[in-house]
Structure 1
C-alpha cells in the first residue's frame, strides 16, 4: 500500500478513501481555477480595464485563492484525515460553481468601428468611468437624453458607433457598464442617472437583447414620473418581459430578419405586450450581433446584409425616433 494511503493525522486517525478523494479533488479544482481564470483574463483583454470592475474583482480573487490552494496542495505529500465529508463536498461544489461562473461571464469585447467611436472630436465628447460611458454633444444639447442598456455579457463600448449619431444630433447618451455584464444587475442605474445630466429633462430608454428587457422595466417605472420622465422606449432586437400595452410612452422596435436569438417569431409574439401605436422596423438580412460591434454571437443567424449597412439603418431610425420628442 502506498505511503500516502497510510499517513496519519495529528490525532492518529488513518486517512481513508474519502480523504484521498478530497485531496485529489482539491488539487484538481484549484489547478482548474488557475487555468480558467488566466484564460478568462486573456480572453477578456482590455475589457478588464474598460468593463465594470466587478468581473475583474471576481477573477483576481478566484485566481489568488486557486493559486494559493494549488501551491499548498501540490507541495503537500501527506493525506490527512479531516472528517466533515459533507462540508468538504459542498466547498468543492461551490468552488467549481465559481470557476464555471468566471468562465461563463467572459464578455464579448468591442471591435471596430466602436473602438474608434470612443474617441472625442469636435461634435461629440466621450467620457468613460468605471460604471458608465457618456456621449455628450459639444454643441446645443437637447432636453431629451438616451439611456441605453447593453446586451448580456457585451462590452458597453460595443454600442458607441451605433449610438454616436444620437449624440451628434444633440442628445446626451448614457451607456451603463453592468456588473458582470448582466442587465438585471444594473436595474438601478437609470434611476441614478436621471437627474445627473442637465439640461436633460426627458428620457428615451433603450437596450439591446436582455438590455432592452430591463429598459422596458425602467419605462414602466418612470413613464409617469413628474420630473425626468421616460417618453420613449427603444428596442434593439429585444422585447418586454411584462405587458406594456398601456405604456404612456412612444415605442420603436428594431429587429433583424435573420436574427437567431430575438427571432422574427419572438418579435411578432411580443407585439401584443406593446402599445397599439408602437412602431416596428425590420432590418432585412440583419442578425442579433449587428446591433453592436462585438463580433459574431453563438446561436445567431447568418446575415445577408453588411454590418455597416445594418448599422446605418439602425442609427438613422434611432435618431429619427428620438428627435421626434424634441417637438
Structure 2
C-alpha cells in the first residue's frame, strides 16, 4: 500500500471511530433518564374520579363531567412521563382531560410535534391547551406558536426560545416557577415577559424547586425545596385548574 492510500485509510478509520463514539455518547446520554418514583406510579391507577389509560401516551380522563378543554403535557428532558402522573390526575379530577406525551428517549426536542397525533386521536376534545416542564415547555411554546388550534400555554420552570415570540398572539399563558429552582435560569423565566402576551400570568411557588413539578427524585444541580410532601404539585394543580377555568368561562 502506498503512502497516499495509507493516509486515506487512516482518515476513513478516524471518521468511523468518531461516528461510533458520537453514537455511543448519544445513547449513553439518553439512557440516563430520571425514573418516576413509586409514589408517581401509584397515580396510574384508575379510580372513581379519573380513568387512566397507558397506551404510549398517558391519558387521564374524568369519569363524570368532562370539560371540552384538553391539556397536552410535554415532560422535562430525560424525565419519565409517569413522574407527572400525580399532577395530571389532579387536574383530570376537576374535569379536564390530560394527555402526557410519549416522547422518544424522554426528549421533547426529538418529537416537538407529538401533539399533532394526540389531537388527531382525540376528536372528542374540541379545545386544546399545551404545556411542559423545562425543555418540554420550550418545545410546547414552539408548538403553540405554529398551531392556531392551541388556545393556551402552560410553562413549568420554562420559557420560550428567543425566536419564539408569542407577544402578539391571542394565546393565554401561565408561567409557574419555584423560588428555589437552581436548574432553570429564573432570570430568563421571568425575563420572557417581553416575548409572551402582556396578560401572561407569572406565579412563583415559594420554596419550590425545579424537580418538584414531578416525582422523580432530586435533579442534579437543583436547589432544595422547603415544601413538604406533594405541596408543589398540589399548588401547580390548583393554579392550572384556575387557569383552565378562566379559559372555560
With structure 2 as the length reference, what TM-score do the two structures score? 0.91
C-alpha displacement of 1:89? 1.9
What is the match of residue 184 of structure 1?
109
Paired residue for 1:113, among 33, 39, 45? 39
Q: Which runs of 5+ in 1 are unaligned?
A: 1-12, 14-80, 224-228
Q: State the 4+ residue runs in structure 1 displaced beyond 3 angstroms.
A: none
What is the match of residue 231 of structure 1?
151
Coordinate RMSD, CA, aligned: 1.6
Paired residue for 1:265, among 187, 191, 196? 187
CA displacement, residues 60-82 of structure 1 (integer Å, 9 cap, x when unaligned): xxxxxxxxxxxxxxxxxxxxx9x
Matched, 1:304 2:229: no
Matched, 1:93 2:18: yes
CA displacement, residues 189-229 of structure 1 (integer Å, 9 cap, x when unaligned): 11222232243111110000011111111211223xxxxx2
CA displacement, residues 230-274 of structure 1 (integer Å, 9 cap, x when unaligned): 111101100111211112121110001111122331212111111
More helix by share: 1
Matched, 1:294 2:219: no
**Do the aligned residues in 1 keep the contact of 2:36 with 2:80 (CA within 8 Å)?**
yes
Matched, 1:144 2:144: no
**Do the aligned residues in 1 keep the contact of 2:190 with 2:202 (CA within 8 Å)?**
no
C-alpha displacement of 1:307? 4.4
What is the match of residue 210 of structure 1?
135
What is the match of residue 122 of structure 1?
48
**Do the aligned residues in 2 keep the contact of 1:290 with 1:307 (CA within 8 Å)?**
no
**Do the aligned residues in 2 keep the contact of 1:141 with 1:199 (CA within 8 Å)?**
no
**Do the aligned residues in 2 keep the contact of 1:133 with 1:174 (CA within 8 Å)?**
yes
Q: Which structure exhibits the higher relative contact order, with contacts defined as CA atoms closer than 8 Å and separated by 6 or more residues?
A: 2
Q: Please identify the structure whose Cα radius of gyration is greater.
A: 1
**Do the aligned residues in 1 keep the contact of 2:179 with 2:204 (CA within 8 Å)?**
yes
Q: CA separation in 2, counterparts of 1:99 and 1:187?
A: 23
Q: CA separation in 2, counterparts of 1:297 and 1:94?
A: 30
C-alpha displacement of 1:325? 1.9
Superposition pairs of residues 162-201 of structure 1, within 5 angstroms: 162-201=87-126
What is the match of residue 38 of structure 1?
none
Q: CA separation in 2, counterparts of 1:261 and 1:270?
A: 16
SS in 2 for 1:84: helix
More strand by share: 2
What is the match of residue 277 of structure 1?
199
Deviates more, 1:104-113 or 1:201-210: 104-113
Paired residue for 1:155, among 67, 80, 88? 80
Q: CA separation in 1, counterparts of 2:44 and 2:73?
A: 15
- The total of aligned residue pairs comes to 241
SS in 1 for 2:231: helix
Q: Which runs of 5+ in 2 are unaligned?
A: none
